[in-house]
Amino acid sequence: MTHQPAAAARTLRLVALTAAALVGFAANSILCRLALGTHQIDAASFTTVRVVAGALALFALVRLAARRGAMRPARSGTWRGAAALFAYAIAFSLAYLRIGAGVGSLVAFGAVQLTMIGWGIWRGERPRAVEWLGIAVAFAGMVALATRGATAVDPLGGALMLCAGIAWGIYSLLGRGSANPLVETAGNFLRAVPMALVVSVVAAMVAGPQATREGLLLAVVSGALTSGVGYSLWYAALPHLPATRAAALQLVTPVLTAFAAVWFLGESLTPRLLGSAAAVLGGLALALVGRQAQAVAPARNPKGGAAYSK
């Protein structure tokens, strides 16, 4: 009898961790668009403050966990991982100068998942027919969102967000299988700081820095809370989630972002966005279902599914 309350408590904790992490992922888009869409801060300064605040928050969490004996605060991270992380962060910021949070989250999320699926195919995975169908539907949704009509996504903004999603997909692939993803991420954030500082200096020389108190505060919150704390919550939940389920749960992020953007930013849910979102998210869900079905059979690749998110 004592096992049932304990199991229920563990399940409730997992649900709470996962929900909080997904809300944090969605909040990143809202905070970034709120700061940059209203020109309260320039993209380079926002990125630098976000990376520095994220590094400080993550290392504080690593030190706290080390004191509790949960992990060793060893040096970790790689320059390749840091470069992919920084590429994501700067492209993410630049994109939100030009496109809305709802559209941006959908493009970034779709690019992350398609990058990881595409890498698996490149490495020799052989998707089932249902996976190919899901990939095709998701890709068609991305194309429909970006082309034709007055409500089409700004081309440069869409391209930048596509690059951000690809960079985060690469970052996720580099970190897949890490023994301690929280420490790894903290190390990558620290290594990304000098990259961000260089870009900020160059941007200041070209156009001059632009930052209000509100813009700086939004960047700090984005880096420390929705990135640093958000990632730590996700990594705490991740070991208890099968890879395919973790990837499927991330389907919630663009939905949360779109509705939050309507509420907080006054963005509208256009028919094009709704239709494209249905195609992208539905196609990815179909691909994930196909991958899960393949995993329960004699698996060709036991590592299927995305384990990391933006």
Q: Residue 244 above 80 pLDDT?
A: no
> How far is 233 from 196, CA to CA, in rounded Å?
25
Please report which confidence band the pLDDT of residue 298 belongs to, taking 50, 70 and 90 as the band edges: very low
Here the tokens at position 158 are: 């869409």
Q: Residue 274 above 90 pLDDT?
A: no
pLDDT in tens, 85-143: 999 999 999 999 999 998 899 889 888 888 888 887 788 877 778 878 888 888 888 77
Q: Residue 255 above 60 pLDDT?
A: yes
- Which pLDDT score is estimated for 304? 40
Q: Are 109 and 253 in contact (CB under 8 A)?
A: yes
- Which pLDDT score is estimated for 146? 67
- Which pLDDT score is estimated for 297? 55
> How far is 43 from 16, CA to CA, in rounded Å?
32
- Which pLDDT score is estimated for 186? 92
Closest CA to 26 of 112, 95, 114, 101: 101
Which SS3 state, helix, strand or coil, does residue 27 take?
Answer: helix
- Which pLDDT score is estimated for 272? 76
Q: Residue 195 above 60 pLDDT?
A: yes
- Which pLDDT score is estimated for 306? 41
Q: Mean pLDDT of all residues in the chain? A: 83
* Longest CA span, the chain: 68
Residue-wise over 246-268: b if at least 16 C-beta within 10 A, else e? bbbbbbbbbbbbbebbeeebebe
Average pLDDT over residues 201-226: 92
pLDDT in tens, 37-84: 999 999 999 999 999 999 999 999 888 877 776 555 555 789 999 999
- Which pLDDT score is estimated for 94? 97
Phi and psi, residue 2, nearest 5°: -70, -20
pLDDT in tens, 141-170: 877 776 655 556 788 999 999 999 999 989
- Which pLDDT score is estimated for 137? 86
